[in-house]
Structure 1
Amino acid sequence: MELTAFKFSIENHVARITLAQGERGNPFDLAFCSDFNKIATECDNNRDVRAVIIDAEGKYFSVGGDLKSLATGTQEASSHFVKAATSTLHMGISRLARMDAPVIFKTDALVAGGAVALASGADFVLAGPNAKFYAAFAGIGFSCDSGSSYYLPRRVGLRRAFSFFSRNEMWSAEQALDYGLVSEIHSSEELEDKSAALANELASGPTYTFGKLKNLFLETFQTPLETQLEMEARALTDCTRTQDTWSAVQAVANKKKAVFEYK
């Protein structure tokens, strides 16, 4: 896979997605959006991937949108740029959300604009003490993208999410933890080890079941109770049809440790 804006690897069932334009602040340009969709499609399609870590190189995790590209050329060209960029980026975000493998977002730096959406869309966010989360969009007269309006209200509540974007707020790691965006805070020195340990824990777990849980939680705020109950029943039934779940039931019933192989 040829990539411009990212580094990508898979080791011991853990995929690592690294923003790799640190010298530019890892902006969301066309190459970024195209690469992200390629990587997300690979993670979704490759059954060797059972957990994902998203991290970044450079001083910033990401400065958000590529303002230089937006400001170059005509107003019409900028409009076309936004539609072209979001068409691929949003497809990738959807695939990461719908795939079985859980996603861990790791940062100890500034996370701005669309990168906040990547954080809020992840299943776990591990932050260092230097992490900051900056809305950015309203500062240039933009509404939000990348799933921000879907995920952030679910993590922190509708009123707080609207305040974050409309008032162009910046949250510290501690605030983001208190509000519900961040899962855990670790020292800068421990952050990589803690993220890797969590990824390895998840990668050895019931990956198919994680996928069922992710999709149930995606639907929960817009689905009537009876529909959600039926979806839960169907998800459980689907799990029982997998060898992983059946083997785990047999193992635990016989007082042995369950081993999950994603089959």
Structure 2
Amino acid sequence: MSDATSASRAARTLVEGLYDALAGGDRAAIEQALTADFIGRVTPGLPFGIGGEHVGAGAMIRDGWFTIGAHWRVRAEPSTFTATADGRLQVQGIYRGTGRESGTPFTTWFAHVWEFRDGLICGLTQITDATAFVGALESEGAAPLGLETMDLTVADGVATLCLARPDARNAIDQRLADEFLVAAVRIAGDTSVRAVLICGEGPDLTVGGDIGYFTGNAGDDLGATLRQMTVPFHLAFQVLAMLDAPIVTVAQGAVAGGGLGFVYAADIVVAAEDARFVTAFAAIGLSGDGGGTWHLPRRIGPARAARAYLLNEPIAAQQALDWGLVAEVVPAADARVRGVAIAQRLANGPTRAFAQMRALLRESWDRSLPEQLDAEIVGLVASASTEDARGAIDAFLNKQRPTFRGL
């Protein structure tokens, strides 16, 4: 057994023990699993001071987990454990619980990203739908949060997430950042979703951050406003990276600033001929968000990425295609239709194999070649156990077209 495999198993055992301790309210066992300087990052929007960052094991236990226990009876039911190339453990599953006073039941998807040091847990990023918890506080329950800045629909296996602030050119304000996280979590928790399409209403995908919102709400502390916005915005991108379902983004008109994150999140980008990609941050004296400083050098190379950031030069659609930022360029009138067609094709494909492909491609940057070859064997074995693989091989032998069900 390799050292990495042993470490992964030890990490899983440690985390499973912590879940049991949390369910039983065993404070001593919880403390034994954590480093003293443990940092917990909990979904923004959870009330009673739970959402946000808790520094120190005591703070996380007192102000995070035990405060949750004071208001809800809830248990985490993990379903998947995925070791990442950098030594973290991603756990996805379902929260099932009720409000303590209301008795209102709720169920919602979660993702936990656990970090380790010296055989203990030193960090957690927890992502879920805060509105499900808030709704369970009411005796009659609460309707799911209505999305005002975007539309989310699911049909025929495709989740379509459409930015819907066309009058503001789909600029990103606090509401859109918050709703993006809610939408991403809902997509992740919907087992019928087999592909995702991201697009925007109007002529632009997004012009990036809403400067009017910044100036109108920041006061003397612009940094605090930007932090409040970017935390849920970035958590949403983490959720999309964990999806089994492939993602298609339709880029048209302006695609700027942090809004470039919708391009980076996609496996396939369809660009309209009028698309213009621009980092935009240098023009307003900011350094950037949306994952661009990680993604852009990997997509177009470090020299081009540095030029795009420092000189703030727009990248035209054809140039983006030549550099590998997008997969294809089509007339503006055809871009949405083309994106829908690709998303539907992917939704009809081998979803579980796509999930392995996405993870392998994403994590290859953090692995050596021997490590990647080992990871490919693990992925191949996992996908070979699916009904889709067995059915497709039978269809091939019988000279028939396979039908994939995502199983």
Q: Give the TM-score band, short-chain normalised.
A: over 0.9
Q: What residue identity is the alignment partner of 2:286?
A: F
Scaled by the length of structure 2, the TM-score of the pair is 0.62
Does the CA contact (< 8 Å) of 2:251 and 2:263 recur in 1?
no
- Gapped regions of structure 2 (runs ≥ 5): 1-143
* Counterparts of residues 39-54 of structure 1 (less than 5 Å): 39-54=183-198
Q: Report SS of the residue matched to 1:47.
A: coil
**Which of the two has higher C-alpha Rg?**
2
Deviation at 1:118, TM superposition (A): 1.4
Tell me, in whole angstroms, the C-alpha distance in 1 between the residues paired with 2:312 and 2:220: 23
Q: Residue in 1 aligned with 2:321?
A: 177
For residue 14 of structure 1, the aligned residue among 158, 165, 174 is 158
For residue 74 of structure 1, the aligned residue among 199, 219, 224 is 219
Q: Residue in 2 aligned with 1:152?
A: 296
1:124 equivalenced with 2:268 (yes/no): yes
Does the CA contact (< 8 Å) of 1:49 and 1:101 recur in 2?
yes
Q: Residue in 2 aligned with 1:219?
A: 363
Tell me, in whole angstroms, the C-alpha distance in 1 between the residues paired with 2:190 and 2:389: 20
Q: Residue in 2 aligned with 1:249?
A: 393
- Gapped regions of structure 1 (runs ≥ 5): none
Deviation at 1:70, TM superposition (A): 2.0
Q: Residue in 1 aligned with 2:380?
A: 236
Scaled by the length of structure 1, the TM-score of the pair is 0.95
Structure 1 consecutive aligned stretches of length 4 or more whose deviation exceeds 4 Å:
none
Structure holding more helix per residue: 1
Does the CA contact (< 8 Å) of 2:196 and 2:248 recur in 1?
yes
Q: Residue in 1 aligned with 2:232?
A: 88
Structure holding more strand per residue: 2
Deviation at 1:255, TM superposition (A): 2.0
Q: What residue identity is the alignment partner of 1:156?
A: I
Q: Report SS of the residue matched to 2:312.
A: coil
Residues 28-52 of structure 1, C-alpha deviations (whole Å, 9 max, x = no match): 1111111111111122221211111
Residues 45-99 of structure 1, C-alpha deviations (whole Å, 9 max, x = no match): 21211111111112432111121232234332x2121111111111110111221
Tell me, in whole angstroms, the C-alpha distance in 1 between the residues paired with 2:223 and 2:311: 24
Q: What residue identity is the alignment partner of 1:49?
A: V
Larger relative CO (CA 8 A, sep 6+): 1 or 2? 1
Tell me, in whole angstroms, the C-alpha distance in 1 between the residues paired with 2:153 and 2:332: 23
Q: What residue identity is the alignment partner of 2:358?
A: K
Q: Report SS of the residue matched to 1:189.
A: helix
Tell me, in whole angstroms, the C-alpha distance in 1 between the residues paired with 2:287 and 2:297: 15
Q: What residue identity is the alignment partner of 2:393?
A: V
